Amino acid sequence: MEKNRRDGRRRTGWRFIALIAGEEARVQTVGRDYVVFLGDVESGSISGPPLKFNLFSYFLHETTLTPAKTVSAPVQFYKEIQAEEEGTLQLRLDMMIISSHTAPARSLVAVILLSLLLQISELPSSCSASSSLENFSARDGTVLELDESNLDKAIASFDYILVDFYAPWCGHCKRLLPELNAAAPVLAGFKEPVVIAKVDADKYNRVTSKYDIDAFPTIKLFMHGVPVEYKGPRKADLLIRFMKKLTAPDVSTLDSDIAITEYYETAGTHFPIFFGFGLDESVLANIARKYKKKAWFSVAKDFSEDIMISYDFDKVPALVAIQPSYNEKNIFYGPFEENFLEDFVKQNFLPLTVPINSDTLNLLKDDDRKIVLTIMEDETDDESQKLVKVLKAAASANRDLVFAYVGVKQFENFAESFGSAEKTELPKMVVWDGNEEYFIVTDSEIIHGEDQGTQITKFLEGYREGRTIQKKINDRSFTGYIKSLSIGGKIAYILILLVIIMMIVHNFCMDNEPLRVGTRDQANQGISSSSEHERRDYRPEDKED
């Protein structure tokens, strides 16, 4: 007995529960229930009353129990089957060995129950998660909890499933979850429903390794089983918009005026819309597939003259590009070879005049054209709005250039990069190469209050004739930030810097949450950090942001 008392300490590894006089706890199946016995089941030598434990199914797990041959419970989660006796299970628990001393039967039952409950609390939730998957429908509209045992099955079960690989300690993960909860019921209502699921990737290491999870949270979209890392917006309303576009057909075929109107209204105002009137779907197929994340594409074969009037075209075939947020239309009558089509489509990803903000800079960096930039005091005042209308007319006639404008009041740091902090009169115009250089046109930089159209024409003529002075952007640090938006390799340096900063903060602030690998959410949000409120800014939400 003294030896048993000395053994009453915590030991590592799985082993039998040792009870009074070396008796072992066994479990026998009775119908669909599990009964815990003390003593030898075969001989009937029972030290106490049997304990019926209906919740024992949650206790059956590959790392915990080895079910006997006759166990009727599902065994798909078990790695090994070892039978101690026909119809019984041998408990293996990591716990203290109980000393051999006399104790009432109720105490023994309590010990077993306590052991079971302790072990259940430590087990992964694979059985419960599996059960939830079995009863889950793509139309349920809730966030599905998955684990390593059923993730692959879920991916195979749904055409579109957005999986959040999270860690419980991650603050960004905690902030993301309410957005996913808000988006889930809306995504479930899509014509092609999108399921949102989450997996504790910090707990399930095999999942982390299999899907190359190196930062939290990481979101992956599985489309018909094919994984793509999701780099789109993470706010619920923007995520819904983005997924709506992504799950739509590459090219929609519209066969009536009503279908055209409904398509336009359903598409919303976030992306440009292209209508191919009198065009075959095959004409737009390659372009639509290539730029699916940036625009809506459709072809209309049956339509009335009223539609032709509404969409401002007078013959077919015609490709109509619409910027819903700006009520702008551009018409293309051909030729419809792919290179000409692509040029037209790319030009119309942007409105005729682009308001500069942290969102539109991303799209400008993807455009190879030079940028005619007008710098003004306040882009919202009446005089500036009049100037923007004149700029639109110039942009329409000079599609080989991008026309943009920025207010010092709205984006001071950016405006000052072009010398607006100096004692120069505003508004003024420059031509920016999108990187570190810009050009001013001799004697045509300042746009005065009267006859602005003529002054803009003179500026453009001077630029095309080469009467320019080349200058460097003033703020190199800001330029580096701009360049990082398009040069993927430099993102790594930003991430490293963020990690170092967060580690320093963690060391000095004990109440900060621990930061693991990466702050991908910060990187994405830092690049597109403009205000969430609606204003007439062009807000592209490309997955490549």
- For residue range 97-143, list pLDDT tens digits in order: 222 233 344 444 444 454 444 444 444 443 444 446 777 888 888 89
Q: What is the CATH number of the domain that holds 167?
A: 3.40.30.10
297-354 pLDDT, tens digit each:
999 989 999 999 999 999 999 999 999 988 899 999 989 999 999 999 999 998 999 9
| Helix-, strand-, coil-residue percentages of the chain, each rounded to 5 | 35, 20, 45
Does 520 reside within a domain? no
Give me the phi and psi of 271, to 5 degrees please.
Answer: -120, 150
- Which amino acid is located at 247 in the chain? T
Q: What is the predicted pLDDT for the residue at 37? A: 45
- Boundary of a domain, candidates 347, 378, 407: 347
- In degrees and rounded to multiples of 5, residue 202 shows phi and psi of -70, -30
Q: Give strand pairing partners of 296.
A: 273
Q: Predicted confidence band at 389 (pLDDT cuts at 50, 70, 90)?
A: very high
**Domain check: are 141 and 193 in the same one?**
yes
- pLDDT tens track for 412-446: 888 888 876 666 788 999 999 988 899 999 888 88
Q: 267 with 216, same domain?
A: no
- Considering the domain architecture, whether residues 45 and 114 belong to the same structural domain is answered as yes
* Structural domain includes residue 531: no
Q: Residue holding tokens 């692509």?
A: 342
Percent of the chain at pLDDT > 70 equals: 62
How many domains does the structure of the chain reveal? 4
165, β-bridge pairs: 199, 218
521 occurs within a structural domain: no
239 in the same domain as 139: yes
Is residue 147 located within the same domain as residue 223? yes
**DSSP conformational letter for 167:** -
pLDDT tens for residues 196-217?
999 999 899 888 888 888 889 9
**Do residues 9 and 92 share a domain?**
yes
Please check whether residue 257 lies inside any domain of the structure. yes
Q: Is 534 part of any domain? A: no
Is 67 in the same domain as 164?
no
Please check whether residue 230 is in contact with residue 161, taking contact to mean a CB–CB distance below 8 angstroms. Answer: no
Whether residues 421 and 438 share a domain: the answer is: yes
Residue 78 backbone phi and psi in degrees, to 5:
-95, 140
User: Does position 5 have pLDDT exceeding 60, yes or no?
Assistant: no
User: What is the model's pLDDT at position 43?
Assistant: 39
In a domain, 31, yes or no: yes
On whether residue 523 sits in a domain, the answer given is: no
pLDDT at 247: 83
Clarify whether residues 196 and 144 are in a common domain.
yes
Residue 133: the pLDDT is 72
Phi, psi of 236 (to 5 degrees): -55, -50
pLDDT digits over 73-104, tens only?
322 222 222 333 333 333 333 222 222 233 34
Say yes or no: 357 and 458 in one domain. Answer: yes
Confidence check: pLDDT of 70 > 70: no
Higher per-residue confidence, 394 vs 502: 394
Domain boundary among 294, 328, 347: 347
**Six token digits for residue 246:** 């992504």
Domain boundary among 61, 96, 122: 122
Mean pLDDT (the chain) is: 71
Query: What does the pLDDT read at residue 160?
Result: 92
The CA distance from 517 to 467, in Å, is 52
Cβ–Cβ under 8 Å, residues 28 and 42: no
Q: How many residues does the chain have?
A: 545
Catalytic residue among 51, 71, 129, 170: 170
List 173, 279, 431, 482, catalytic entry:
173
Note whether 391 and 337 are same-domain residues. Answer: no
Confidence band (pLDDT; 50, 70, 90) for 491? Answer: low
Instruction: Report the pLDDT averaged over residues 18-46.
Output: 40
Told to judge if 170 belongs to the known catalytic residues of this protein, a careful annotator would answer: yes
Q: Are residues 193 and 223 in the same domain?
A: yes
Q: Quick check: is 505 in a domain?
A: no
Contact 169, 202 (CB under 8 A): yes
Q: Print the domain residue range for 29.
A: 2-122
- The pLDDT value given to residue 296: 92
Query: Does residue 457 sit in helix, strand or coil?
Result: helix
**Hey, how many other C-beta atoms are within 10 angstroms of the C-beta on 208?**
21
- Provide the 3-class DSSP secondary structure of residue 38: strand
Task: Give per-residue pLDDT as tens, 435-474.
Answer: 889 999 988 888 887 889 999 999 999 999 999 999 998 7
The predicted-structure confidence for 131-176, as pLDDT tens digits, reads as follows: 467 778 888 888 999 988 889 999 999 999 999 999 999 999 999 9
Q: What is the mean pLDDT of residues 496-501?
A: 66
